[in-house]
Every structure is written in C-alpha cells, then in structure tokens.
Amino acid sequence: MEIKIPLVKPYFDEDELTEIKNVLESGWVSQGPKVKEFENKIKAYLGVKYAIAVTNCTSALHLSLLGLGIKEGDEVLVADYTFPATGHAVLYCRAKPVFIDINPKTYNINPSLIKSKITAKTKAIIPVHTFGQPAEMDEIMGIAQKHDLIVIEDAVCALGAKYKNKYAGTIGDIGCFSFHARKGINTGEGGLVVTNNKNLAEKIRNLAVFGMKTAWEREINNKFIIPEFTEVGYNYKMSDITAAVGVAQFKKLERIIKQKQKLAQYWDEKLEEIEFIQPPYVNNDALHIYQA
C-alpha cells in the first residue's frame, strides 16, 4: 500500500468562514478595511512601520525592486536555490539576476561567495530564508553596507522565523512575505511588503494600485477626490475577501508554528535512526519555523 505524506495541509475552521461572511455582507469586497486590518496585524507582530498587502510574493518582490529604483542594466545578487519567482522579479525590471550558490547545510545564500560577484552594476542582494530558516543576515548586511547595496529579504517561507531575535523580513531594507496555500498562514494566494521607510512604502502602495490612491483611501476621505494616476502602476492589490482569510489565519500563526516545530522534531528523531541520513541542520542563531 502506497502512503503519501503531504508537505502541508492548510488549516481552516469556522473563523475563516465568519470573516469571509462579514466581508461579503459589508458590500466592500475589493481592497478596503479588511486589508487594512490584516496589514496592521502583521505590522504590529513584526514591529515594522509599514506593511502593504498584495496579490502574492512575486508581486511583492517586483514592487520592492521597482520602489528601490532597480532598472535595466542593474544587477541583483540572488540566492540560486529558490523558486524561480525570485529571479523573475528581477527580470521584470529588465535587470540581471546574478545567482550566488548556497551553504549546503542551510540551503541559504552563502555569504562568503557574495563579494566575488559584486560589480559596478550591482545594486541589491536578495537573500532567501529557505524553508523558514533565516539566512546569515549579519554577514549579508555587513557586505551590503560596505558596498552600498540594498537588501531585499525574500521571506516567502519565514513569517515568524527569527535571526538573533529579529524577525525575518525586518532586518534588511525591505521584506517580502507569501500567503500561498503551502505557507505558514495562507490566504490561497497573497503577499506582503514590509519596510520602515515611509517614502518607499508610499511608492510601493501607489505602484500596487495603478499608480494612484486606493479606492478605500478615497472612500474614507471627507472630500470628493478625483483619482490621479501619478505613474505607471500595476493591479497588485489584495482584496478584502482574501484579507478576511488572512485575519482569521493570523490568529492561528503561533499555534501553527509550534505544531510544525513539533512535527520537525518527530521526523528528526526518526531520521536519526537511519544510518545513512542526516537530519536537517539548524543554525543556533535562528528560530526555524519549518516551512515547506
């Protein structure tokens, strides 16, 4: 008999149904108050000043690169063990992704290999916190500061993970998260950008909504506002229906992380019983959340 062990099973209950029902009954189903609530919850949890909810982490990465001014002719250093979206986001800006090999113990970008790939065209580094174990951010940030490079954390798998007691996604200039169905908390599809830079946050928020202020911002303003399209933007906004699932899921985040860690410990113990298999390495400086 063949037994399949799934990478992950999304966990939903009545909370999600209640939140979605409330949004549908409100009549405001595109980006509105529920998205703002979801952003505020993640923002408070991570201890950052700004959070922008978007359609997925690919759009989060794309917007981050655009907001930081990455353009044609620029080079961006990217971990080579990652989902293609990390490199694709660089290509969307007509820039060049330059791939850096990983540390085979952690599957994260190897800081010792970064310097040799830096050129006059290098503008940014995108470390990926693979499988929920944060990259070695102290070394990465040190290199970035020395060479005046931007750091965009691909924290697609790492909401709740920590590096030396700092949340993944909050250490670099900007962090990008995913709420895909296989992530720690999920909204089916969804993403988020976080930063402490006000100007950058405003630029990314505008770019995510066609280069204008959102409909909800106009709705809650006491004055009638005619939309102004200040620059070429994208339709990357998260809907309130999606955010409703996110709000319900967020309540379960710590519980889900603890359950994943418990399962990881179980499998580590089982793997230790097999002579030719070594359990996955965990960096002592990291809080691993074991994300598939």
Which residues carry out catalysis? 183
List the structure tokens of 86: 């990390």
**Cα 71 to Cα 244: distance, rounded to the nearest angstrom:** 35
- SS3 per residue for the chain: CCCCCCCCCCCCCHHHHHHHHHHHHHCCCCCCHHHHHHHHHHHHHHCCCEEEEECCHHHHHHHHHHHCCCCCCCEEEEECCCCCHHHHHHHHCCCEEEEECEECCCCEECHHHCHHHCCCCEEEEECECHHHCCCCHHHHHHHHHHCCCEEEEECCCCCCCEECCEECCCCCCEEEEECCCCCCCCCCCCEEEEECCHHHHHHHHHHHECCCCCHHHHHCCCCCCCCCCCCCCCECECCHHHHHHHHHHHCCHHHHHHHHHHHHHHHHHHHHCCCCCCCCCCCCCEECCCCC
Report angle CA 161, 44, 184 to the nearest 5 degrees: 35
**Cα 87 to Cα 126: distance, rounded to the nearest angstrom:** 9
**Cα 96 to Cα 259: distance, rounded to the nearest angstrom:** 39
